[in-house]
């Protein structure tokens, strides 16, 4: 039996575009990716344990926002560290996922970790 398929960035982008062409919006793809990642991370961080998600401003960041929001819904302490201010989030889909986060659960990286981050179980 073959293992999971592995795609490079160009192939993954082609799959995203094909899905969108077939009527599956990028925001749903992000949500699905976030759910899958959150499910796996939840296996490593039990209820009440922290997870730190490092996110950029693009659609991969949107996947991270979706995962953090899903973890929060599962009762995990999930913090997001943004590489740039939220005003720089590049796409509507990523912004939609970002807006799902608990308001006090994200911060823009300023060169030093916050105290709460030192207690996380998973980064």
Indicate the SS3 state at residue 17.
Answer: helix
Is the pLDDT at 2 greater than 70? The verdict is no
User: pLDDT digits over 53-103, tens only?
Assistant: 999 999 999 999 999 999 999 888 899 999 999 999 989 999 999 999 999
Average pLDDT, the chain: 90
Q: Quick one: pLDDT at residue 63?
A: 95
The mean pLDDT value for 37-63 works out to 91
More confident residue, 25 or 20: 25
pLDDT band at 25 (very low <50, low <70, confident <90, very high): very high
The Cα–Cα gap between 105 and 78 comes to 7
Look up the pTM and report it.
Answer: 0.87
Question: Beta-strand (E) ranges in the chain?
Answer: 50-55, 77-82, 106-108, 120-122
Q: What local confidence, expressed as pLDDT, does residue 92 receive?
A: 95
* CA–CA–CA angle 91, 97, 99 (5° rounding): 100
């Amino acid at each position: 039996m073959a293992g999971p398929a592995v795609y490079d960035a160009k192939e993954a982008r082609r799959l995203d575009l094909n899905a969108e062409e077939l009527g599956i919006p990028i925001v749903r793809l992000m949500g699905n990716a976030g759910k899958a990642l959150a499910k796996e991370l939840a296996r490593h961080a039990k209820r009440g344990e922290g997870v730190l998600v490092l996110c950029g401003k693009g659609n991969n960041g949107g996947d991270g926002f979706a995962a953090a929001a899903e973890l929060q819904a599962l009762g995990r302490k999930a913090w997001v560290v943004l590489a740039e201010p939220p005003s720089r989030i590049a796409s509507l889909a990523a912004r939609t996922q970002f807006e799902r986060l608990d308001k006090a659960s994200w911060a823009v990286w300023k060169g030093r970790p916050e105290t709460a981050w030192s207690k996380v179980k998973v980064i």
